Structure 1
Amino acid sequence: MSKEVLINVKNLSVAFRSGGGTTTTAVKGVTFKINKGETVALVGESGSGKSVSALSILRLLPYPAASHPTGEIFFEGKDLLKTSEQDLKRIRGDRISIIFQEPMTSLNPLHTIERQVGEILALHRGLSGQAARARVIELLTKVGIPEPEKRLNAFPHQLSGGQRQRVMIAMALANEPDLLIADEPTTALDVTIQAQILELLRNLQREMGMAMLLITHDLGIVRRMAERVYVMQSGSIVEEQPTEALFASPQHPYTRHLIAAEPKGKPPHFDAASPVIAETQDLKVWFPIKRGFLQRTVDHVKAVDGVSVKILAGQTVGVVGESGSGKTTLGLAILRLISSSGPIVYLGKRIDGLTSKEMRPLRREMQVVFQDPYGSLSPRLSIFEIIEEGLLIQKPEWTAAQRREQAAKALGEVGLDAASSLDRYPHEFSGGQRQRIAIARAMALEPKFIVLDEPTSALDMSVQAQIVDLLRELQAKRNLAYVFISHDLKVVRALCNYVIVMRNGKAVEEGPADEIFTAPKADYTKALLAAAFDLKVAHRAAIAG
């Protein structure tokens, strides 16, 4: 018996008109349907048109810059593209809801949790006062927020990433919609939180009988959650199959490319007798908690609490753990970018007592690459000016021609064409290209030691694999020492020789990467590995098979 169709998208196109009057077609004649109670995945890399197609269902694109040259979107027999704005308001948040990728930008930072969830109930159900509060508490309980009564007056910044996403889910499900659009709902979350959120969505869907449109680039999530899959590339749907059939026998080359895109390989071999580049002993970073009129210190947040690290030339030390575990704080402390206590030794010399002026000559050799390349590259500077900045400070005797030559060499090393890149700006590049530019900026100074802070987490799977390959090549070529900070254990396994697992500021387990991945001892490490790789068992089998 065929299922009843809930959403039927026919020949949908989406065009965007720029300020200069040029028009770009982002979606080209896309057709797909979602049945009642069904989970459908829309997959593809950044820029493929997934989110634009989904946002068109609720007409949430920036109109009039966005337009639909062709297409119809039928919901219960009505074309949503021709529905009045008044009727559409009644559908949004009631019959059809949406969860976005980054809850911090979706939640109002000035409103409490109770007000934000209650607003939806007031708009569509007319609930207020005690009735609304009771429903908000019920929803927060349902999505797994602990002690929900105590969270009603909290603001978004006072919640963790996972809790914020749960609040977004509570808002989306407040009126028990027929369709939930989940746009990369777990990309910004740790692996253990990701597993919890996916399980929560699946349970709530089963309980409420709603349909779900899941937008993602992670095929491991698709394999676990979806019944049918549409694969998008460059604005078009290139393949549609039931999930099991798609993984067992992908038909389109792009689908096969996506399935095979997981970071692979092993880190470069390094000599255990190599010199020690950087080392810490019992390193601590404690932030004071001050209270009262006189702001006395009453306690400390122990972001890093007695961690010892040793990094050899040619070695990659992976630091893993959930958000708030102290990973990034540890990396910044080793680089002397934040205050800490405990010895920090670089090339045999203690640097923890050096002033910022005394540290400056060492900055050339100790570099950092951050998670978000768009946030770490100035939008006002050209690529040459971005790379040149460090050279102006560290190589003041160089001429402009020498600096340009070094910048071009660095871009060439990371696989970008210098001639066509140096005079362009960050917004003109893709996420993967921007991360290559951030790596080139570090490499231009010819460092010995680099802290890589989640450098692949914001990237598509295939681009992640490319960046991992690039980092391995550069390490082998220059005998670089890396500290690689991540919560993505697939990437860590492909890149790191040694792993430190952190939780609440402490190292709960450490050892050679092979030992950590094959025979973890700590329960917390086992939980991290289970969350990261349970989603991937069938995925790996499909790749191998």
Structure 2
Amino acid sequence: MSVSPPILVIDDLSVTFGDGPKAVEAVRGVSFTLAKGETLALVGESGSGKSVTALSILQLLPYPRAHHPRGSIRLDGVELVGASEPVLRSVRGARVSMVFQEPMTSLNPLHSIEKQVAEVLELHQGLRGEELRRRVLEMLTLVGIPDAQSRLGALPHELSGGQRQRVMIAMALANQPDLLIADEPTTALDVTIQAQILTLLKELQARFGMAMLFITHDLGIVRKIADRVCVMTGGEIVETGPVEQVFTAPAHAYTRKLLAAEPGGHPLTPAADAPEVMAADDVKVWFPRKGGLFGRTIGYLKAVDGVSLQVRRGQTVGVVGESGSGKTTLGLALLRLLKSEGTIRLNGEPIDRMSAADLRPKRRGMQMVFQDPYGSLSPRLSVEEIVGEGLEVHRLAADRRERRRLISQVLEEVGLDPTAADRYPHEFSGGQRQRIAIARALVLKPAFIVLDEPTSALDVSVQAQIVTLLRDLQARHNIAYLFISHDLRVVRALADHLVVMKDGRVVESGPAERLFSSPTTAYTRALMAAALNLEVTPGGVAV
């Protein structure tokens, strides 16, 4: 691989938010180069400045609130800091593309996925008609959208989190850019699709000589996909070097801390006589498919098809499977947030036929942490209002002082400074927003929590903290968890029992350790292999 001349040169870059005494320097003195065909990984904890650095390349920071007091960003010798709009338009989406961390906030909720991918191709390649549609289908198929032809008219909310991320990747790769900035591109993807996407990126990179700036908190991915790595903390790069050198002989204490951070420990084992908290018997969630001139029902999408499970006091049941397998739909159905058939019991009491009024007092005992922390937090409410809303609804605080004390306590538990209670979601990094979402569920001390990818947006050290926190809370309060995740390392550290789903059905279930060590179905074996033995090469994935 040629590493000269560099296509991207960043020199002494600084980014400041605000002016005067309240100004915050988010990035300080960042310098690095990136050559054609090279992959450079930016790693570090949430809030370290990784995404701010990446956004600076395309000049997408909110000016004039954010500005560059000093520094240079050159793409093939062209200065981008302070560049004119015509210059930036010729670069954005054509020569440099970006995959953002949160696809639901990046995709237009009112436009079909066909229209959104087509827009990129129309703008930069001038494609029209059948050629345009053929190219859109090609890109959606390339990034692993199942039955792409039938999903062209789908809106973003009709896709799973992983499928939405794949649409974002299709849009970014459509014009075969010289530089791809990938900001947590596999965060929302299950392990098998993650392997496919990483392989796809490497194949395209080898074919077109594309440079890639890869931002991630998953150090396992960094080791397998990157050539060099820059470690960031507090807005500064503290260590740079070839991946193997940094991983095997880290020079900086912070790098050593990151490498040592891994969700660990063992799942709690519930008591033999632990009572049932949540149970499902033959639960089905079928979505009608409309077609024809009059929009008649022509079939059903069987998102959840006859699933039965039980979660006991102090137990964590992990639900794993590929994107679109029905994991999140199952969690929503158990909480009566989606209409379903079958029996659902909370603490032995059937709730599947309860009216909304009868169900309302039960909701304190069953909570959910959603996958997309930005989409589930109101941008108009402060952290105090978001976390404290449940306390107010269920009248769990005697007065404002008690309410503030409970909010401060839970913010500390999830690793946030209680003084952040007066701030708003947009002022936090993706990982910090997820912690706010977790705090909102934990503050009610429910008996049952559905955790839908609760660590997907978190860096590795915070993942380990959250896993430990969830285990501690479970031990202290005997909470039952339904833990939905594609990160099997986290699942292994937390789940006592495992349910494997595919196409809406359970293909295998049992004690977690048995399924990890001796899976009986080919699908589970493939899932475990992809999660635990992923190796990415330009020619494919070896497991």
Normalised by the length of structure 1, the TM-score is: 0.85
5 Å-filtered alignment, 1:91-106, equals 91-106=91-106
Shift of 1:317: 0.9
Equivalent-residue separation in structure 2 for 1:361 and 1:294 (angstroms) = 41
Equivalent-residue separation in structure 2 for 1:332 and 1:137 (angstroms) = 31
- Is 2:465 the partner of 1:466? yes
Equivalent-residue separation in structure 1 for 2:405 and 2:3 (angstroms) = 63
Shift of 1:230: 0.9
Q: Compared with structure 1, are the counterparts of its residues 225 and 432 closer, same or farther at alpha carbon in structure 2 (3 Å cutoff)?
A: closer
Is contact 2:18-2:65 (8 Å) kept? yes
Shift of 1:328: 2.2
Is contact 2:10-2:74 (8 Å) kept? yes
Is contact 2:15-2:68 (8 Å) kept? yes
Residue 333 of structure 2 aligns to which amino acid in structure 1?
A: A
Q: Compared with structure 1, are the counterparts of its residues 256 and 377 closer, same or farther at alpha carbon in structure 2 (3 Å cutoff)?
A: same
Equivalent-residue separation in structure 2 for 1:21 and 1:449 (angstroms) = 45
Q: Aligned Cα RMSD in Å? A: 3.5
Corresponding residue for 1:357? 357
Is contact 1:371-1:453 (8 Å) kept? yes
Residue 43 of structure 2 aligns to which amino acid in structure 1?
A: V
- Is 2:262 the partner of 1:262? yes
Equivalent-residue separation in structure 2 for 1:318 and 1:365 (angstroms) = 19
Shift of 1:96: 3.1
Shift of 1:512: 0.4
Q: How many residues align?
A: 535
Q: Compared with structure 1, are the counterparts of its residues 48 and 284 closer, same or farther at alpha carbon in structure 2 (3 Å cutoff)?
A: same
1:40-86 Cα deviation digits (max 9, x unpaired): 11222222222222232232333333322211223333433365443
Corresponding residue for 1:338? 338
Tell me, what secondary structure is at the counterpart of 1:474? helix
Corresponding residue for 1:17? 18
Is contact 2:411-2:436 (8 Å) kept? no
Corresponding residue for 1:243? 243
Corresponding residue for 2:277? 277
Equivalent-residue separation in structure 2 for 1:82 and 1:440 (angstroms) = 40
1:340-385 Cα deviation digits (max 9, x unpaired): 2222233333333333333334333333333344444445555555
Tell me, what secondary structure is at the counterpart of 1:13? strand
Is contact 1:411-1:437 (8 Å) kept? no
Tell me, what secondary structure is at the counterpart of 2:14? strand
Q: Compared with structure 1, are the counterparts of its residues 118 and 422 closer, same or farther at alpha carbon in structure 2 (3 Å cutoff)?
A: closer
Residue 523 of structure 1 aligns to which amino acid in structure 2?
A: A
Residue 465 of structure 1 aligns to which amino acid in structure 2?
A: A
Q: Compared with structure 1, are the counterparts of its residues 410 and 334 closer, same or farther at alpha carbon in structure 2 (3 Å cutoff)?
A: farther
Q: Compared with structure 1, are the counterparts of its residues 479 and 146 closer, same or farther at alpha carbon in structure 2 (3 Å cutoff)?
A: closer
Shift of 1:106: 4.0
Corresponding residue for 2:81? 81
Comparing 501-510 with 350-359, which one deviates more in the overlay? 350-359
- Gaps (5+ residues) in structure 2? 537-543
5 Å-filtered alignment, 1:104-119, equals 104-108=104-108
Is contact 1:413-1:440 (8 Å) kept? no
Q: Specify the structure having the higher radius of gyration (Cα).
A: 1
Tell me, what secondary structure is at the counterpart of 2:272? coil
Is contact 1:263-1:461 (8 Å) kept? yes
Is contact 1:280-1:310 (8 Å) kept? yes
- Gaps (5+ residues) in structure 1? 538-545
Is contact 2:217-2:458 (8 Å) kept? no
5 Å-filtered alignment, 1:33-182, equals 33-81=33-81, 83-108=83-108, 120=120, 123-124=123-124, 165-166=165-166, 168-182=168-182
Corresponding residue for 1:513? 512
Q: Compared with structure 1, are the counterparts of its residues 351 and 158 closer, same or farther at alpha carbon in structure 2 (3 Å cutoff)?
A: closer
Equivalent-residue separation in structure 2 for 1:250 and 1:314 (angstroms) = 39
Is contact 1:283-1:340 (8 Å) kept? yes
Q: Compared with structure 1, are the counterparts of its residues 299 and 268 closer, same or farther at alpha carbon in structure 2 (3 Å cutoff)?
A: same
Shift of 1:314: 1.2
Q: Compared with structure 1, are the counterparts of its residues 381 and 108 closer, same or farther at alpha carbon in structure 2 (3 Å cutoff)?
A: closer
Q: Compared with structure 1, are the counterparts of its residues 106 and 410 closer, same or farther at alpha carbon in structure 2 (3 Å cutoff)?
A: closer
Percent of pairs with identical residues:
61
Q: Compared with structure 1, are the counterparts of its residues 166 and 349 closer, same or farther at alpha carbon in structure 2 (3 Å cutoff)?
A: closer
Tell me, what secondary structure is at the counterpart of 1:280? strand
1:276-304 Cα deviation digits (max 9, x unpaired): 22222222222333556766544332222
Is contact 2:3-2:36 (8 Å) kept? no
Comparing 401-410 with 345-354, which one deviates more in the overlay? 401-410
Is contact 1:46-1:460 (8 Å) kept? yes
